[in-house]
Amino acid sequence: MSPTPRPESKVRVLLVDDDEDDYVVTRDLVANIPGRPIALDWVADYESALAAADRNEYQVYLIDYRLGARTGIELLFAMRERGCDRPVILLTGQSEFEIDLEAAAAGAADYLEKGRLDEVVLERSIRYAIKQHAQEAELERKVRERTAELAESNAKLREADRRKDEFLATLAHELRNPLAPILNAVEILRMQPQSPQAQGRIERQVAHLVRLIDDLLDASRVTRDKLSLTREPIDLREPLLMAVETSAPVIVAAGLTLDVQLPPDDVPLGVFGDRVRLAQLFTNLLNNAGKYTEAGGRITLAVETDGHAVTTRVTDTGLGIPAEMLEEVFSMFSQIDRTLNRAQGGLGIGLALARRVVDLHAGDIAASSPGTGHGSTFTVTLPAHG
């Protein structure tokens, strides 16, 4: 699009007319126009006019209807075809209603009768043509902008849709997985009704199914914005220790070391929080650290406060997270490597839920990692309270 001229600059107008006398008349009219100065150039034929339109030097074209063997309307169409969208004012020797209609249909900005032309009429026609062109250009710019926005949101929707499809496949697997061992155990119980191993297996697998479905319910609460908290003044040690109690056995069973670093007991870790949701949040972080770290690794849970905020870091020596995924892992159902997660279990809900819970506490959660294979740190910052 051509740049809008500065208000003080001259308006450049090209007259296309095969009659030099008419040019002289028009030039004299233009010279008498007060206010914003108009620079009028003149060409006498169709080809020169097209060449000028190609150079896009003029803001307005005054085109005579009769141009030798051609008409001004043909010229107008040719200019439009070549991408010139500048306003065109058509001039005729005498008013003809037919031509007037034709001009309007072709998209002329105005249609003026030479015989009745004076500086007032000409000035007004040029001014309106410029104004209307600017408005159309602005409208076009808005449409383009809006189209780009729509394309972007469309792409985002497709991506979310794809993630949901993948998630459905994962979900089916995750729900299916515990059923085989359960069926197996039932078979064993049929023959040995007292088998404690079979009973234990069923209990573990059913508990796992319950966890998955609870996660799923939480996920749907998060996506529908229906997750609600019960917040009260608490010491963050409470949910932290609940989480450690839940996760430590899993972590130790995976052959990992868990190192918990809390400030001395006399340092308050007060927050205004939901004990259960915060415990769930830290459990998710610890379980992730355990899931995505190979045996022999170390997990550290470290807490500190400066009196304004309480900062909790869960660091592991595991798989790490590529830089471009550090934000993405917090999206619902996103998992870095599904084939790998398939073996690890999980639905890609934990961190999305964690972020929502932290948001509802007016806090912040972020992931950092030196890169694949070099471990990760998840940092949760909550406002201190009391």
Select the residue interacting with ligand ATP from 72, 178, 239, 346 (CB under 6 A): 346
**Residue 369, SS3 per DSSP:** coil
Q: Residue 123 and residue 11: Cα distance in Å, rounded?
A: 11
| Residue 347 CB neighbours (<10 A) | 20
Binding site for Mg ion (CB under 5 A): 288, 346, 350
- Among the candidate windows 220-228, 229-237, 262-270, 316-324, which touches ligand ATP by CB under 6 A? 316-324
Verify binding: residue 247, ligand ATP, rule CB under 6 A: no
Residue 287 beta carbon to Mg ion: minimum distance, rounded to whole angstroms: 6
AA identity, residue 197: Q
Q: Using DSSP bridges, classify how beta strands 309-316 and 377-383 pair: parallel, antiparallel or unpaired.
A: antiparallel
Q: Specify the residue, 352 or 382, whose C-beta has the smaller distance to ligand ATP.
A: 352
Q: Which two tokens mark 193? A: 């009704």
Q: Specify the residue, 62 or 212, whose C-beta has the smaller distance to Mg ion.
A: 212
- Among the candidate windows 31-39, 44-52, 262-270, 286-294, which touches ligand ATP by CB under 6 A? 286-294
Residue 332 beta carbon to ligand ATP: minimum distance, rounded to whole angstroms: 8
- For residue 67, report the phi and psi dihedrals to the nearest 5 degrees: -125, 75
Per-residue binding string, ligand ATP, 70-109, x by CB under 6 A, is ----------------------------------------
Contacting residues for 153 by C-beta, under 8 A, at least 6 apart: none
Verify binding: residue 316, ligand ATP, rule CB under 6 A: yes
- For residue 310, report the phi and psi dihedrals to the nearest 5 degrees: -110, 125
Chosen from ligand ATP, Mg ion, none, partner binding at 341 (C-beta under 5 to 8 Å by type) = ligand ATP
| Residue 103 CB neighbours (<10 A) | 26
Q: Which two tokens mark 69? A: 């063997």
**Residue 233, SS3 per DSSP:** strand
- Among the candidate windows 15-23, 32-40, 81-89, 283-291, which touches ligand ATP by CB under 6 A? 283-291
Chosen from Mg ion, ligand ATP, none, partner binding at 178 (C-beta under 5 to 8 Å by type) = none
Instruction: Tell me the HSE value of 166 on the side-chain side, using a 13 A CA sphere.
Output: 19
| Residue 250 CB neighbours (<10 A) | 15
Q: Which helix (H) or strand (E) holds 119?
A: helix 119-176
Verify binding: residue 335, ligand ATP, rule CB under 6 A: yes
Chosen from ligand ATP, Mg ion, none, partner binding at 247 (C-beta under 5 to 8 Å by type) = none
73 near 64, Cβ under 8 Å?
no
Contacting residues for 98 by C-beta, under 8 A, at least 6 apart: none
Residue 142 beta carbon to ligand ATP: minimum distance, rounded to whole angstroms: 39
Verify binding: residue 321, ligand ATP, rule CB under 6 A: yes
Q: Residue 64 and residue 89: Cα distance in Å, rounded?
A: 9
Select the residue interacting with ligand ATP from 108, 130, 182, 349 (CB under 6 A): 349
Q: Specify the residue, 62 or 281, whose C-beta has the smaller distance to Mg ion.
A: 281
Q: Specify the residue, 150 or 213, whose C-beta has the smaller distance to ligand ATP.
A: 213
Residue 288 beta carbon to ligand ATP: minimum distance, rounded to whole angstroms: 3
Select the residue interacting with ligand ATP from 16, 271, 281, 347 (CB under 6 A): 347
Q: Which residue has the tokens 């409470």?
A: 238
Which residues contribute to the site for ligand ATP (CB under 6 A)?
215, 284, 288-289, 292, 316, 318-319, 321, 329, 334-336, 341, 346-352, 376
